[in-house]
Structure 1
Amino acid sequence: MEAKNKMSEVLPFIIMVVMEGWTIGLTIFAKTAITNGMSPFVFIVYTNALATILLFPSSFLSHQEDRKQRQTFTFSLFMRFLFIGLIGVTMTQAFLFLGLSYSSPILVCAMSHLFPTFNFLLSLILRFHIIKTQKTELNLRSPGIQVQVIGVLVSIMGAVVVEFYKGPLVRPSSHHLRQTKQLLLFSSTPEFWLLGGALLAAASFSLSISNFIQKETLEQYPEPMKMVSYSSLIGMILCAIVSCIIERDINAWKIKRNKDLILIVLTALVGGVIRPNIQVWLTRTKGPLYVPLFKPFGIAFATTFAVCFFSNSLHYGSVIGTTILGMGYYTVIYGQVKGNEEETNCDDSSESLDKKIPLLPEKMEV
């Protein structure tokens, strides 16, 4: 029994660590393919199309047991799926892979840590809107909010460092091979860090907006994998429309190398099917904050890969800035945990008050 309990704790940990390593590895391969001539828009269309084909059957099988409680598909739900597909798939991936083409995987890893920062800022905006409409109060002195504010400031400082400070090379090499002749690429030459970082930050912001829409959608349509499938389908269609407008050259749509085809299949399988299912499973079993805890593991993987395999590609500024962003990321997550504890304590105290209040009128009548 103890061995089973240990396995239930160790296995999810191993799975998430492996998933973060896979993600960084696929990002490096995608950087290589895009630098060697593959259009990022074509890459997005092919990966989303294949992911949608693979995801639809698995999503319907995963919800087969809930047939009796199947939710009705309304126009309001369709509009929500449309916005999730537009913002969470089309815009996010367009910004992401364009940003990758102008930068490197370490910058992708860094800017992805801005996701909880944008989440917190958007939640504050929504709370202020609720306060104005319902005339309630927001306790800015609560420990949870204060910790998250500190995390946001640390994250912004890390983003500034990784954007504007490069510093010396971590592992300089005396003979620098031309990157076009290398089997794998980690960064572009020349690197457009400001543009790449801005696009990657925009990708995190788009994903944050999509995350808020998803949370509200799940309250009406509590079937997460079906929601992901519908959103992926709509996002794929929108990606195809945008890509056809931008990439009018037919030759750009031809897959010229077998390794590009393998990359598309792996990206669709891991990023479009395996990862969403694992996230849904671990969110249900371990809680909503379990999966985000492993995001900073990508910093270690990206740094290790760059140091071991890519000389003259990684600067100290990237490592320092990304590490600061990781610290800010964990600080914001910790603030969310503190905020959830405060809300739970408030709910418990209000329930105890509700139990005591009905006794008062009885005593007064006596």
Structure 2
Amino acid sequence: MGVDMGSMRAALPSVGMVIVLLAQVSNMEVIKAAMSKGINKYVIIVYSDALSSLFFLFCSFLFHRSERPQLTFSILCSFFLLSVFGCSSQIFSFVGIQYSSPTLSTAMLNLIPAFTFVLAIIFRLEKLNWENKSSQAKSLGTFASIGGAFVVTFYKGPPLIGELSHSGSPRRLLLSPQLSWILGGFFLAAEAFMNSAWFILQALILRKFAAVLIIMFYLFFFNTILSTAFALIVVSEPSDWKLGLDIGLVAVLYSAVIGTGFRVGLCTWCLSRTGPLYVSMFKPLAIVFSIVMDVVIVGDAFCLGRILCSDVGKVQRRKDH
């Protein structure tokens, strides 16, 4: 019985990461639906981050009332830098989705294990030994991930299921479909790098400061400040800040509760148990979830390029294991 319980505990981070990916992909679809109705993406970021910070403030007071790790200036600076990575990732993600699709967004997640592996070596969280088969497999997986990202960005392929949709934002309609797709790919590649940097910095912070709920509060608190400052610059219409009882409010609530608060909190817990590289390796699995949601729920086209990218992700995971 003890062995069974131990196996169950060991499997919890894996189960947690699957739930994290489901939350992320579903959040992308909800945000995409809100953006198609004219809801400003930066306003969604501000409101969802603000709600998430309030939630984690309450949780940190509840669970760390008697015992609080010491906060130093260097740790606060680390929290702020972590927030810069997280906020930049959110912005790049939404802009990338606007120019392309949620499926390309999840396909580009193949880059996260590659970037994380490289950064982990740089910051000595991972050792590279060319004589070790594990290091060889991870290196090959890194090249495969980068190659897959280029394939899915520059080769969309013919539609296999459904018809290609030409609808989208006014900004996207000003560009050709191919140019819009490529531009979205570059934004999403930047998002992947910021995600990897977030994983690495989070792992370094957890070595010095293990209170996850307090980390989450400061993360979303600084996120709210940064995203508000950015939104005040780019959002010109005061009416964009108003939310009614429509998909905009649903997107904010869903993003705050599921897409950011629950997802980031659970991901941080998994990272504290396993490490940044293990967590990042689950990201390509989101491709499958996104394809199913895009084709079945949204009715988007199922293109050959997505299959090729998905296969690259499968090859990477098999080699890593």
Question: Structure 1 residues 257 and 326 mapped into 2: Cα distance closer, same or farther (>3 Å)?
Answer: farther
Q: Is the 8 A contact 1:162 1:322 kept in 2?
A: no
Cross-structure match for 1:168: 158
Give the deviation of 1:100 after TM superposition: 0.9
Question: Structure 1 residues 323 and 264 mapped into 2: Cα distance closer, same or farther (>3 Å)?
Answer: farther
Give the deviation of 1:294 after TM superposition: 4.2
Amino acid at match of 2:44: F
2:58 corresponds to 1:57: yes
Alignment of 1:98-177 (within 5 A): 98-126=95-123, 139-172=129-162
Q: Is the 8 A contact 1:113 1:326 kept in 2?
A: no
Q: Is the 8 A contact 1:96 1:108 kept in 2?
A: yes
Question: Structure 1 residues 12 and 123 mapped into 2: Cα distance closer, same or farther (>3 Å)?
Answer: closer
Q: Is the 8 A contact 1:293 1:330 kept in 2?
A: no
Cross-structure match for 2:77: 79
Q: Is the 8 A contact 1:81 1:230 kept in 2?
A: yes
Cross-structure match for 1:269: 257
2:82 corresponds to 1:95: no
Cross-structure match for 2:236: 248
Distance 2:129 2:197 in 1: 24
Question: Structure 1 residues 33 and 208 mapped into 2: Cα distance closer, same or farther (>3 Å)?
Answer: same
What SS does the aligned partner of 1:296 have? helix
Deviations 1:184-224 (A, max 9, x none): xxxx9946111111111101111222222222222222212
Give the deviation of 1:237 after TM superposition: 0.3
Give the deviation of 1:60 after TM superposition: 3.5
| TM-score, length basis structure 1 | 0.74
Distance 1:15 1:122 in 2: 23
What SS does the aligned partner of 1:108 have? helix
Distance 1:256 1:330 in 2: 47
Distance 1:16 1:156 in 2: 22
Give the deviation of 1:304 after TM superposition: 1.7
Gaps of 5+ in 2: 169-174
| TM-score, length basis structure 2 | 0.84
Give the deviation of 1:36 after TM superposition: 2.3
Q: Is the 8 A contact 2:24 2:263 kept in 1?
A: no
Distance 1:95 1:253 in 2: 20
Alignment of 1:5-44 (within 5 A): 5=5, 16-44=17-45
Give the deviation of 1:156 after TM superposition: 1.3
Question: Structure 1 residues 80 and 203 mapped into 2: Cα distance closer, same or farther (>3 Å)?
Answer: same
Amino acid at match of 1:147: A
Cross-structure match for 2:192: 204
Distance 1:113 1:178 in 2: 26
The number of equivalent residue pairs is: 310
Question: Structure 1 residues 25 and 216 mapped into 2: Cα distance closer, same or farther (>3 Å)?
Answer: closer
Distance 1:15 1:328 in 2: 21
Distance 1:178 1:201 in 2: 23
What SS does the aligned partner of 1:73 have? coil
Question: Structure 1 residues 312 and 150 mapped into 2: Cα distance closer, same or farther (>3 Å)?
Answer: same
2:274 corresponds to 1:287: yes
Aligned residue among 210, 213, 225 for 1:225: 213
Cross-structure match for 2:48: 47
Is the deviation greater in 103-112 or in 221-230?
221-230
